Amino acid sequence: MNDPSLIDRLAAGDQRAFADFYDHYWQPIYNKVYRKVQQVEAAEDIVHDLFLSIWKNRSRIHEVLNMSAYLMSGARYLTFKYLDKEKDQYVAIDHIEQVLQEPPLEDRLHYRYILDLIHEEIENLPEKCKLIFKESRYNHKTIDEIAMEYGLSRSTVENQINKAIKRIRLKTNGFYAFLSFYL
């Protein structure tokens, strides 16, 4: 669906435009989510949450360059979040592609581009900030473990992690819904 006037009306808060938008996109998203969760109610909840997020953030909808890819990425994120909650386990970013079925080429390229942005920004962080962030996210260490290991205060470690997250969010501004699980 490439209807700029529909997007304009949706951004302006037109409920009819949102209904048309929903009608156009919900079925393929629902089908994809259902294949992952295999539960009708859970799939419906995930799709509902995705479209609720679109409605709440409608003023920023013009930032989306590829609506289908954006919605599918958001659906994958919410599905991952649901599965993670259900299994009560932590899955590292490096294993996400193994947990989810192989996405289409366009989605894989979109995903790879976003990961490249993240990794580039992580490498551009100040050395101390980068080290602390990597210990937290890649080595899954707690704030207290990092503070003890490097002789830092808990608040210093928290501040460095928050600083890294803010910089990554700025770098990946248009992809936040997809990346929230990482940050």
**pLDDT digit string (tens) for 124-177?**
999 999 999 999 888 888 999 999 999 999 999 999 988 988 888 887 775 555
* Structural tokens at position 138: 């890649």
Band the pLDDT of 48: cuts 50, 70, 90.
very high
* Structural tokens at position 164: 């890294």
Which domains are delineated in the chain?
1-93 (1.10.1740.10), 104-182 (1.10.10.10)
> 107: which DSSP letter?
H
* pTM of the full structure: 0.48
**CA dist., res. 80 & res. 86, Å (int):** 10
By the 8 A CB rule, do 78 and 103 touch? no
